Structure 1
Amino acid sequence: MIDPATPALANIRIVLVKTQHPGNIGSTARAMLTMGLAELVLVRPERFPHPQARMTAAHAEPVIAQARVVETLAEAVEGCGWVVGSSARPRHLGDEPLRPWDAASRAVSTAATAKVAVVFGCERTGLTNEELDLCHAVTMIPANPGYSSLNLSQAVQVLAYELRKAALPEVPAVATKQNLPGYEPPGAEELEHFYAHLERILLSTGFLDPANPRMLMRRLRQLFNRAGPDRNELNILRGILTSVEKPKQRRVPLPPDQANE
Structure 2
Amino acid sequence: MSGADETDAERDETDAAAGSDADPQADRSPRRKPVVVVVEPETPGNVGTIARAMKNFGLTDLKLVDPPELAEDGEAYGFAGHAREDVLPNADEVTFDEVVANYHTVGTTAITGEDDRSHERYPFKTPAELRASLKTVDAPTAIVFGREGRGLNNDELSRLDEVCSIPADDDYPVLNLGQAATVLLYELRELTVDETQLPDTEVTRAPESDVERFHGFFDEFLDATGQREHVREKNALLMRRLLGRAHPTEREVHSLLGTFRKANAKLEHADHLAAKYDEPVYPKE
TM-score of the superposed pair, with normalisation by structure 2: 0.52
Q: Is the 8 A contact 2:57 2:192 kept in 1?
A: no
Q: Is the 8 A contact 2:33 2:191 kept in 1?
A: no
Query: Is structure 2 residue 69 aligned with structure 1 residue 31?
Result: no
CA separation of 1:167 and 1:20: change in aligned 2, threshold 3 A: closer
Residue 142 (structure 2) aligns with: 117
Distance 1:86 1:155 in 2: 9
Query: Is structure 2 residue 103 aligned with structure 1 residue 76?
Result: no
Distance 1:167 1:137 in 2: 19
Q: Is the 8 A contact 1:26 1:56 kept in 2?
A: yes
RMSD of Structure 2 on Structure 1 (CA):
2.1
**What SS is found at the alignment partner of 1:60?**
helix
CA separation of 1:167 and 1:45: change in aligned 2, threshold 3 A: closer
Distance 1:32 1:108 in 2: 18
Cα deviation, residue 166, structure 1: 4.7
Distance 2:163 2:193 in 1: 23
Bigger-Rg structure (1/2): 2
Q: Residues 212-240 of structure 1: CA distance to partner in whole angstroms, max 9, x if unpaired?
A: xxxxxxxxxxxxxxxxxxxxxxxxxxxxx
Q: Is the 8 A contact 1:43 1:76 kept in 2?
A: no
Residue 44 (structure 2) aligns with: 22
Q: Pick from 144, 148, 154: which aligns with 2:179?
A: 154
Unaligned runs of 5+ in 1: 1-6, 170-261
Q: Is the 8 A contact 2:108 2:144 kept in 1?
A: yes
Distance 2:64 2:134 in 1: 20
Q: Pick from 112, 131, 134: which aligns with 1:104?
A: 131
Higher relative CO (Cα under 8 Å, sequence separation at least 6) belongs to 1
Distance 2:192 2:40 in 1: 28
Unaligned runs of 5+ in 2: 1-29, 195-285
TM-score of the superposed pair, with normalisation by structure 1: 0.56
Q: Is the 8 A contact 1:22 1:53 kept in 2?
A: yes
Cα deviation, residue 168, structure 1: 6.2
State the identity %: 37
Deviates more, 1:138-147 or 1:41-50: 41-50
Residue 12 (structure 1) aligns with: 34
